[in-house]
Structure 1
Amino acid sequence: MQKIYFISTVHKDIGKCNGYELHKILSNLSPEVVFLEALESTYSEYDRMKFLSFGIFHKKLEIMSIQKYFLESTFKYIPVLDIGHSEEFEKKYDFVCQNFEHQRLLNKLNSLASDLGFSFLNSPQAMELEDELRKLEEQIFNNPEEQKKVEDHIDDYENNMIKNIYSYCRENHFNKAVFMCGVAHRKSMLQKIAEYEEATDLKLDWKFPTEF
């Protein structure tokens, strides 16, 4: 059975949550496939050329960790998004980020990530804080119609990742993979994966480590 390790991440360096530490996780797990919450354009041909020719690492920490892993191992990199974030999502996020209470809670989450690293991002405590953030954002936004559009978009965005992972697994053989996805999606993605496993005939051996 194909094994996939689900790793929650952040998209830029925050203290102990950085590309070097994430590379250590990849190196320890030694996956043959790395799935990433990313569009094909996130790691462009130009980015690859800069790295291969001049050793210039990508600013996105997940890509940087993948580049470092590339120096020591042969594997397949698979970006799993066909769609980016919607305009409604971006507008909502820009609006709620101006709120002081939202910024305080976000700073708390980032501080814990900085101090405790990826073990925190993959913990129940991180999911609880993300839950608090989502509820607070809905209160601040206070626009049920637009909120519904944002929620529908996030649902499509997450389902798109899962669909593409299962499609790849159905068509390709490997023993071990890693799926790196932003911590904000952790709770809903765990639920969606469980539902997908129940609904599909292709069974994958999902692993959700919490200590690194």
Structure 2
Amino acid sequence: MNKIIVIGTTHSEKGRCNSDSLYHILNDIKPQVLYLEAKPIDYEKVLNNQLQDSLETQAIKQYLKTHTPDHLAVDINDMPSREKFRKMINTFINNIEYQRVNDEYNELCHFYGFKFLNSSDADQMQDYLHFLESDIVKSMNIKELTDTYNEAFDLHTSRENHWISKITEHQAKSEFQEAVFLVGAGHRITIKEKLQKLDLLKQSTIHWDFEYFRN
């Protein structure tokens, strides 16, 4: 059975959550395939040193120096700029409870790195942040904010469905024992929920492993 280890990460370095630590994790696993949450067009530019590295691409480049895995970006190329959602994000961060939980999350990420990001505590905190976002939007009841939130939610959903589809298609025509999917840690819960709804966690040809750091 093919195994895909899902590793939640953050796209910029925060203390022990850094590219060197991620490289050592990849070197321990030695995956034959690497999947990355990134736009293919941007990933190609990063590999050609035409675009700035993220935490993940720095680790991947280091890993590629001594290993020859398949590696591909699985995100949607045509996406709106993050700036489109900046006002909404600032609204969340200005909420006292949201800010408290988010600051605590980032502090734990800084001190404990990837082991925290892939823990049940981190998953629960992300779930709570998602709840707070929805609650803030509902309580404020501002059409512009609601419309932006719904657009962001739909984009979030379509991107995750796209990742699952691209990875499933690729693994069906590939021969490997272990692959790694590097994805923003905030997506871990919702990806797992989608896989459960699609019954893919029980699929016989592939095992999605969200528990690498807990084994």
TM-score, length of structure 2 as denominator length: 0.84
Q: Contact 1:102–1:133 (CA<8 Å) still a contact in 2?
A: yes
After TM superposition, give the deviation of residue 114 of structure 1 in Å: 0.9
Partner of 2:194: 192
**Partner SS for 1:44:** helix
Give the aligned CA root-mean-square deviation in angstroms.
Answer: 2.6
Q: Contact 2:37–2:75 (CA<8 Å) still a contact in 1?
A: yes
After TM superposition, give the deviation of residue 104 of structure 1 in Å: 2.6
Where has structure 1 moved over 6 Å in runs of 4 or more? Answer: 199-202
Post-superposition Cα deviations, 1:139-189, rounded to whole Å, max 9, x if no partner, equal 333344543333222111111110110011112222210001111111111
Segment drifting more, 127-136 vs 18-27: 127-136
Alpha-carbon separation, structure 2, partners of 1:180 and 1:44: 16
Partner of 1:82: 76
Alpha-carbon separation, structure 2, partners of 1:7 and 1:84: 24
For 2:213, the aligned partner's letter is: T
| 1:106 corresponds to which of 93, 102, 113 | 102
Alpha-carbon separation, structure 1, partners of 2:148 and 2:49: 40
1:127–1:201 distance in 2 versus 1, CA, 3 Å:
closer
For 1:172, the aligned partner's letter is: S
**Partner SS for 1:82:** coil
Structure 2, unaligned runs of 5 or more: none
Structure 1, unaligned runs of 5 or more: 52-56
Partner of 2:213: 210
Partner of 1:54: none
| 2:131 corresponds to which of 135, 140, 144 | 135
1:58–1:150 distance in 2 versus 1, CA, 3 Å:
closer
Q: Contact 1:7–1:181 (CA<8 Å) still a contact in 2?
A: yes
Alpha-carbon separation, structure 1, partners of 2:4 and 2:203: 17
Percent identity over paired residues: 29
